[in-house]
Amino acid sequence: MRSFILAFLFVVFAVPGASAKEYGNHDLTRLLKESETSSGKKHSFNAAYLDKILNDLSAHARNYPPRFDTPQDQQRAAKDVKILSGMLDTLISVPTPNLELLVRAGFLNSIGHNLDIPGAAEKANSIFLRLLALSPSDPRGNYMYGNFLSGTGKAKEALPYLEKALAAGVVDAGFSIGLAYVFLGEKDRAIKSLEDYKRRKPDDENVDKIIDAIRHGRFEIKNTAPVEQP
């Protein structure tokens, strides 16, 4: 099941007729760096370039539905996600994986889920659980996993992770908590959470509109995506 809440927000607050910025052409071979050392060739992973690609993917497909300038851009992004996922699988398939890579792999596969890549949701869930087993208090891991759970229709299960992230200083988790309560039909708690978020982040222009819409019954959650079969 997709994210009802975030899909609705795009419908309400997106600029009519606006299109997403063109998805970039990324050279995935740049992710593997080779250098000469006294003992021979050394291979390393270009995390900075990975983050550049993830930022581009996030701008288009962090939430459902994804927003791309053309269908071709979306197809290219999906292809990149599949290749990147395979690369990261190799790097994290070790007894003690790098936590930074686990964070990125979980996020990448949550994007893959929004791009309708088969198996991406299951892989994201597994990676996030592995990350949090190794580092239960990881702020980003809790925040990303909470958002992922909300995005798959599991708002109740998402709340403990989002609350842990908020307690660890992830301010944006407060916004996600508010939306989770909307999904659960708890209007008062949703408004309180969003007002708390607004106090922490007063420059967010959309939150006042959302609070007003909830308060006056104009906030309707719409499902714009297919439900996944078990």
Q: Given CA atoms 189, 191, 193, 199 in this order, what sign does their dihedral have?
A: negative
Least confident of 35-44, 48-57, 120-129: 35-44
Asked whether the beta carbons of 42 and 35 are under 8 A apart, the reply is yes
Structure confidence at residue 40 (pLDDT): 59
What's domain 45-215's superfamily in CATH?
Answer: Tetratricopeptide repeat domain (1.25.40.10)
Q: Where are the domains of the chain?
A: 45-215
And the tokens for 70? Answer: 């053309």
Mean pLDDT of 212-217: 88
Which of 80-114 are b and which e, b meaning 16 or more Cβ less than 10 Å from the residue's Cβ?
A: bbbebbebbeeebeeeebebebbbbbbbbbbbbbb
50-to-55, 74, 84, 148, 183 alpha-carbon distances in Å: 9, 18, 9, 20, 33
HSE-CB at 133 with a 13 A cutoff on CA atoms is: 9
CA distance linking residue 188 with residue 215, whole number of Å: 8
Q: One-letter amino acid identity for 140?
A: R
Confidence tier at 3 by pLDDT (50, 70, 90): very low
Q: What is the pLDDT of residues 158-191, one digit of tens each?
A: 999 999 999 999 999 999 999 999 999 999 999 9
Length of the chain in terms of residues written: 230
Q: What is the pLDDT of residues 49-107, one digit of tens each?
A: 999 999 999 999 998 889 999 999 999 999 999 999 999 999 999 999 999 999 999 99
Structure confidence at residue 225 (pLDDT): 42
Q: How many helices (H) and strands (E) does the chain have?
A: 10, 2
* Secondary structure class of 223 (helix, strand, coil): coil
Confidence tier at 14 by pLDDT (50, 70, 90): very low
And the tokens for 111? Answer: 């994007």
CA distance linking residue 102 with residue 100, whole number of Å: 5
Structure confidence at residue 176 (pLDDT): 95
Q: What is the pLDDT of residues 136-160, one digit of tens each?
A: 999 999 999 999 999 899 999 999 9
The burial class, CB within 10 Å (0-12 / 13-18 / 19+), for 18 is exposed
Mean pLDDT of 208-223: 78
